Amino acid sequence: MATLKSARRSFNPEALSQIAVIVDDVWKELAAESAFSPSLSSGPARSFVARKVFQLAQARWSATQIKELLLRAVHNEMSILRRKDTRALTKM
């Protein structure tokens, strides 16, 4: 029998609904801040947010902590992307 290299976690329906609320709340806050570029306003950015929520939820953080950590992670990721864009423009 093959072994899994990573542990799997499962969430009950109540936890999943709370995770969905967290993703929506953070997404709305980011939209209000205009924190994401228009090209990232759908699929990839929202998937990034959802993945991070699941990672933080597995660590058993509270909903408030998850929201704060998630906002910080998104802002950091966006800062990295902006720096990469700036470097690419200066190399031209």
Q: Would you say the pTM of this structure is higher than 0.75? A: no
- DSSP letter at 4? P
Where is pLDDT greater, at 10 or 41? 10
Measured distance CA(47)–CA(26) in Å, rounded: 12
Residues 6+ apart with CB under 8 A from 48: 74, 77
Which tens digit of pLDDT belongs to each residue from 45-78? 778 888 888 888 888 788 899 999 988 988 888 8
